[in-house]
Chain A
């Protein structure tokens, strides 16, 4: 739009983007300026890379260089775009301004993905090609199969409980007077890092052992013992220990689901609820027939976000059990293969599989997002 850039950067008010003003740069001066920009950018980068000493000075220099080279780049690109013949100006302007960002994205996202794809067809030290054997391994190795199963559990139970709990709490809190307090307390765990959550829940699941006069220090075991039961090593129970870990993710993520759905619920016009009450509907019918369908797009968005999150989940498993006792997940196995075992071929294959699994969910999310924008 004409004039927007001028508003953002008053410095460039002179060089407004309206189609009528032609800038009068000498082509040679312009070319020189482009070269100068390139030199500043590349030279500064190389300088920062090679000079090891004078750390404070280099930090200051890095900040100054970073800010100014970006401004210089913008200035020069602007001037270049100005100078291009009017006929292709709109296209060229788009290219010139979106260009650096797209290139950066390409270099930082697309190229590494392609590189990982290539690595997934190579051996452990990326020296020879091994075809599909890494993928074969990923789909037949018992540890990987266990990880797939566990990830499925995380996806299904983790996501559904998060969303359901979030919805229930959002609806209940909406009806209560001390709403803000409740919502803040539920949202608070989101501020805790996963490793911190691991420590917190370690004290919930702690198991001391069998023997005489053993005082359990884990809250769950203490409750069980107080009711006369026997203390258990919760994280050791095969298969069910996954659910104890999923509980941690639910504890962390419900706040997020709740907050988003709460704001969606508040957006429901009050008249509809009033009309329903007049017609004799009780709270439960209002909830199921009005509230839920109304905020369905929000529910779907939240579900897909948490679904993607549960697929990538790594910290909780690594910190609580390290993937042992049958709790391994894909992301943890990937980390082990790459950084602990040093097998980049297998690790890359696992990463690509994870990407392929996530992409449909991502696309669906995007589609919904775009659709909602259009409707609203």
Chain B
């Protein structure tokens, strides 16, 4: 009944417990946050992006001339790289990242910078409504089409 060791709080115990409890509650926290997000956002990025973190934020656009041939290495702002490399994003010394937007037919380059992103936008209460196409488990496809 009585705790004879009251007052003798072992810090190791507390640490271990906190780790275990965190592991236990993170999944639930995830679903809690997901319930407030827009459907397209849910699929596009993880729920932890709602919390403040450093992320690539688009700061500008560059339009390439229409006659640029994406099948050969392309030179933009002094750097030369192939289409695939531009697609994955090329980092510049001044902290910017340039990334090719879309496929070879587009001529748009987006400029990104790493910035702190606060609590994610697009929190919505829409999900609490009647979600007739609710989710993968509630539609007994191909039964109820």
Contacts and interface: CB of A to CB of B under 8 A. Distances in A.
Interface range for B: 35 or more
A366 interface: no
B5 A175 contact: yes
Interface string B1-31: 1111100011001101100110011111011
B78 interface: no
B43 interface: yes
Interface stretch (A166-174, A293-301, A330-338): A166-174
> Which one of B34, B44, B46 has the greatest number of beta carbons of chain A within 10 Å?
B46
B45 A266 contact: no
Contact of B46 (A165, A196, A219): A219
Interface in B87-145: 87-89, 99, 135, 137
B42 interface: yes
Contacts of A270: 1-4
B84 interface: yes
Interface in A149-181: 165, 169, 172-177
Interface string B21-56: 100111110110010000000111111100000000
A182 B137 contact: no
B30 A169 contact: no
B26 A219 contact: yes
A326 interface: no
Contact of A172 (B17, B26, B28): B17
A199 interface: yes
B84 to A, nearest CB: 7
Contacts of A218: 46
Contacts of B31: 196, 199-200, 203
Interface string A238-262: 0000000000000100100000000
Contacts of B48: 219, 222
B97 to A, nearest CB: 12
Given A199-B31, A215-B45, A176 B17 contact: yes
B4 A273 contact: yes
Nearest to A271: B4
Contacts of B84: 212
Interface string A195-212: 110111101100000001
B42 A174 contact: no
A186 interface: yes
B24 A203 contact: no
A141 interface: no
B17 A215 contact: no
Contact of B43 (A172, A177, A217): A217
A173 B30 contact: no
Given A200-B30, A203-B47, A213-B87, A186 B21 contact: yes
Interface of A: 165, 169, 172-177, 182, 185-186, 188-189, 192, 195-196, 198-201, 203-204, 212-213, 215-219, 222, 251, 254, 266-267, 269-270, 273-274, 277, 319
9 contacts: A172-B13, A175-B13, A199-B31, A200-B30, A201-B27, A213-B99, A217-B43, A217-B45, A219-B48
